[in-house]
Amino acid sequence: MEKTPFPTTLDELETYPQQTLTAEQVADVVIAYEPVWAIGTGKTATADQAEEVCAFIRATLAKLYGADVAETITIQYGGSMNAKNAEELLSKTNVDGGLIGGASLKAADFTTIIKAAVNG
C-alpha cells in the first residue's frame, strides 16, 4: 500500500518518540486516544475506527515492549463517548475504557456509560 502525502493517524502514532520509557514504566501507563478532529466537535469515531487505532497502539507497544506489557496496558477512547455510543465502543477488544467529558455531567447518561463499561 502506497503512503499518501498526508499523514494519517497511524503514521503519526508510529513516529512518536516511544522509546523513552522502560517496559516496567510502560506497564503502569494508561493511554488515551482521541482523534484530533473529534476534540471539541461532538463528533465520534465509529467503533471500528476506534478499534483500529487502539489495536494499532497495542500492536506498536507489543513490538516495543513485548506482548505481555501490551496486554496489561489500558487503552481508553475519548472523542465524545456518550450514553448512545458507549456500549458499541466498549464492546471492542482493544477499547478498554472511555474518557468521558460532557456526558459525565448528566447522571442518567453517565450511569448508562458505567453500565456499558461493566458489561462490556
pLDDT tops 70 at residue 115 = yes
Lowest model confidence (mean pLDDT) among 10-14, 76-80, 114-118: 10-14
Helix (H) or strand (E) holding 31: strand 30-33
Give backbone dihedrals phi and psi of 5, rounded to 5 degrees, phi first: -75, -10
Q: Mean pLDDT across the stretch 21-43?
A: 86
Helix ranges restricted to H, 1-120: 9-15, 23-26, 47-65, 67-72, 86-90, 107-119
Strand partners, 31: 75
Per residue in 33-60, pLDDT (tens digit) is 999 888 888 788 999 999 999 999 999 9
CB 52 within 8 A of CB 70: no
Quick one: pLDDT at residue 13? 64
Residues 13 and 57 sit within 8 Å (Cβ to Cβ): yes
Whether the model clears a pTM of 0.85, i.e. scores above it, the answer is: no
